[in-house]
Structure 1
Amino acid sequence: MKIGITEVAARADVSEATVSRVINRRSGVSAKTREAVERAMAELGYERSTRGQIVAVITPWLSNPFFADVAELIEAALAPHGLKGVLCPALPGGIQEREFVTALADHGVAGVVFLSASNTIENADPETYNVLAARRIPFVGVNGGFEGHDAPVFSTDDHLAAELAVEHLFSLGHRRVGMAAGPVGNRPADRRVEGFLAALERRGVEDPDQWVVRQYYTIEGGQSATSTLLRQDVTAIVAASDFMALGAIRGVRREGLSVPGDVSVVGYDGSMIMEFVDPPLTTVRQPVDRLAKEVARSVVALVSNREVPPGELLFSPELVVRASTAPPRSA
C-alpha cells in the first residue's frame, strides 16, 4: 500500500494540512508538531518527493578550492532542513547557466544560489533572473547582486580586503606595491581595485592607477600581470585571488627573483591549501563558514515563505600572514 499524507496525518494525530506544511517546510508549525510528523513519516516509510527540495548552486569555478569549499558548506547547511544542494558548473552569464536555471525551474527547484556566477558581471543578461522571479522561485547571490531584483546578497567586504593587504605590505616597508587585478566588469574585481586605489591614496601615493594591471582570475593571468608589474620595479604584489597569487609567484621566479626575498606576494580567498604551497601564501581570507551559513539560512527562510532582509550583507575578511611576505630587500 502506498503511504500518503492521510496516513501520516493519522499516525501523527494532526491535520493533513499540517503534514503538507511540514513536507513543504512552511511556517506556522511548532517544533514539537514538526518532529511528530517527521517521526510518523519515518515509521510509515513515507517517501518524500524530491520535487521542490532541490537548491541549485550555480558556480563557474569548482576547480578553485575556495568555491568548492563554499558550495560544500552551503550544501551541508541546507541538508538538516530537508533541502538538497545540487552543484551546477556553468560559465557566468553564458547560455549554459540560463539553460540550467530554466530546466531546474521546469522541474520544481526550490531555490537557486548564484555563487560568483552571472551575478558578478556588470550588465549580465537578466533573463535568467526574470525566469526565476516570474515563477516565484527564490534566489540569492554571493559576491554580486542582481540588477532589477531585490534579492539577498552576501559578500565579502572587498574594500576592506584591499586595505588589509596594503596595510600589511606598507607596515613591512614596501612603497612600490602593485595589484594583479581581475577583469574589468567583474564586480568583485572592480571593488578590490577601488579599495586598493583608495588604500594607496590614503598613504599619499601619486597616480595609483599605474600600479594596477587587469587580467583573468587564473594562474596564467596572475603571471602575466606580474610580468608587467615587475617592469615597474614593484617590491610587492597584491593578487585578486589565490590562483593569481600562485601565478605571481611563478612570474617572479621566471625573472630569476625570489618570493619573498625580492618580491612579496599577498593572495585573496584563503583556501586552506594555500598554507602548503611554496612559500606558504600570505592571503586575505574570505569568511567562508559565515558566508555559507547565512546563504543557507536565507534560502531556507525564503523557501518557507518567510521574509529575509533585502539588499547586500557585507562580511569582514581577515589577513592570514605566512611566508610569502617580508620587508623589502632595501629595508
Structure 2
Amino acid sequence: MRSKTTLKDIANEVGVSITIVSGVLNGHPVRVSEEKREEIVRVAKERKYLPNRIARSLVSRRSKTFGLIIPSIESRTYTSYTKNLEGLCQKEGFGLFIANTNDRLERDLATMAQLVERGVDGIFFVPSNESYESKELIYVLEDLPVPYVMVNRYLVNYRCDRVYFDNERGGYEATKLLLDNGHTKICCVANTSGSNTGRARFRGYVEALENHGLILRPEYLIESSYTMLGGYEAGEKVLKTDTTAIVAGSDYIALGLRRALQKRGRRVPEDYSLVSFDQSESDFLVDPPATTVIQNMSELARRSFELMNRRLAGEQGDPIEIVLDVCIRLGDTVRPLS
C-alpha cells in the first residue's frame, strides 16, 4: 500500500518549507512566488494530498487544537504555565499538543513544522535561548499560516504578538529592596549569557544600582545556570567576595546558593541577605522562607489565551505586546543593615 502523502513530502519535492506548503493549501497569506504556489497545488493534487485533521474540519475550518512549544518540561515556571494553559484549553473545548525543545533552536524549527502539519489552529511559543538572534526562526514565524503568541521571551529586533513579565522591573525591585535595607555590596547570580530573561533581570539590577549612585563591580556578577547545582557552584564564588546580599536569578539558583553557604557555616539572612525569583514548592521546605519576586503563571496563561482567541476571531492590526507586572512576596531572608 502506498504511504500517505504528508506536507513534508510536498515541501521536499517543491523545495520550500512545510509552513509555506501548509499556508498555500489552507489559503493563508504566505510569502511565495505565484510559480511556486501553483507548483505546490499541482503536486498536492497529483499526490492526492488531504490533511487528515483538515479533512475532519472542512466545515468549521478549525481543528480545535493548539500547539505549545516550551524550552524545558523540567522548568517549574513552564510546567506551571502549561498546566494553566491546558486548563483554559479544555474549558473551551480545545486540545493542546505540547512540544519540548530542550532549549535548542533546531527543535524550535522542527516542532513548529510538526505542529503546522498537524493542523493546529494556533501556536503558543516560548523560544529557546539559542534562538535569541536567529534570523532563520524569524523567517519561519513570518510565514506561519496560523496565529501564534510568543510567551515570556523575545527575539532580537522582532515584533510579534507577545505576553511577558516585566523581568527588568523584577530585577530592579529585588535590588532596590536590598538597597533600601542598607545593602550596597550586592551580588547578582544569574544566567545573563544564555537567557534573555536573565539579561532583563540583570539590566534591572544595574539600573537600581545606578539610581543609588553605585556602579557594577565585575566580581559581583556571577554566572549560573538555572539549576540548584549551578547555584551551589555560584555560592562558592560568592564566598570569595565581600558582598552582604544576593539577587538570585531563580528559585533553584537560590536553593543551591543556600546549600553552599550553609555548608561553609554561613547563614541567611544573618550573613547574607537574599532575594530570588520564581517561587518554588521547595521554598516551603527551607527555613527561613524566601523573599521572592513572584510571577503569576495563571495570569500569563489567561492573557496569552485571550490574545490567541482575538486573532482567531479575525482581529487584525499591529503586533500586540502585553506586559505583566511582578510583585515581591516578603519572606525572612532580608536583614536590614544597621
TM-score by length of structure 2 reads 0.75
Q: Name the residue aligned to 1:314.
A: 323
Please report the RMSD computed on the Cα atoms of aligned residues, expressed in angstroms: 2.5
The reply to whether residue 126 of structure 1 matches residue 136 of structure 2 is yes
Q: Name the residue aligned to 1:252.
A: 261
Where does the alignment leave 5 or more consecutive residues of structure 1 unmatched? 1-46
Q: 2:90 aligns with which of 72, 75, 79?
A: 79
Deviation at 1:223, TM superposition (A): 1.9
Q: Distance in 1 between matches of 2:281 and 2:305?
A: 22
Q: 1:266 aligns with which of 275, 278, 295?
A: 275
CA contact (8 A) 1:266 1:284 kept: yes
Q: Name the residue aligned to 2:336.
A: 327
Q: Distance in 1 between matches of 2:273 and 2:106?
A: 40
Alignment map for 1:103-252 (pairs within 5 Å): 103-115=114-126, 117-118=127-128, 121-124=131-134, 126-127=136-137, 129-147=138-156, 150-252=159-261
Going from structure 1 to structure 2, the CA distance change for 1:298 and 1:311 (only over 3 Å counts) comes to: closer
Q: Select between 183-192 and 99-108 the one with higher mean Cα deviation.
A: 183-192
Q: Select between 144-153 and 294-303 the one with higher mean Cα deviation.
A: 144-153
Deviation at 1:140, TM superposition (A): 1.2
Q: Select between 133-142 and 280-289 the one with higher mean Cα deviation.
A: 133-142
SS in 2 for 1:213: strand
Deviation at 1:189, TM superposition (A): 1.1
Deviation at 1:306, TM superposition (A): 2.2
Q: Name the residue aligned to 1:42.
A: none
Deviation at 1:108, TM superposition (A): 0.6
| Counterpart code for 2:295 | Q
Structure 1 residues 156-192: Cα deviation after superposition (integer angstroms, max 9, x where no partner): 1122111211122122222211110114142111111
Identity %: 25
SS in 1 for 2:257: helix
| Counterpart code for 2:124 | V
Deviation at 1:308, TM superposition (A): 6.4
Deviation at 1:311, TM superposition (A): 4.4
Structure 1 residues 94-139: Cα deviation after superposition (integer angstroms, max 9, x where no partner): 3233222111111111111123x32784213533x54454242111
The reply to whether residue 292 of structure 1 matches residue 301 of structure 2 is yes
Structure 1 residues 254-297: Cα deviation after superposition (integer angstroms, max 9, x where no partner): 22211122112211123455244333221100132221111000
Q: Distance in 2 between matches of 1:204 and 1:276?
A: 37
CA contact (8 A) 1:249 1:265 kept: no
SS in 2 for 1:126: helix
Deviation at 1:154, TM superposition (A): 1.2
| Counterpart code for 2:287 | D
Q: Select between 199-208 and 317-326 the one with higher mean Cα deviation.
A: 199-208
Where does the alignment leave 5 or more consecutive residues of structure 2 unmatched? 1-55
Alignment map for 1:21-40 (pairs within 5 Å): none
SS in 1 for 2:322: strand
Aligned length: 281
Deviation at 1:68, TM superposition (A): 1.0
Deviation at 1:77, TM superposition (A): 1.9
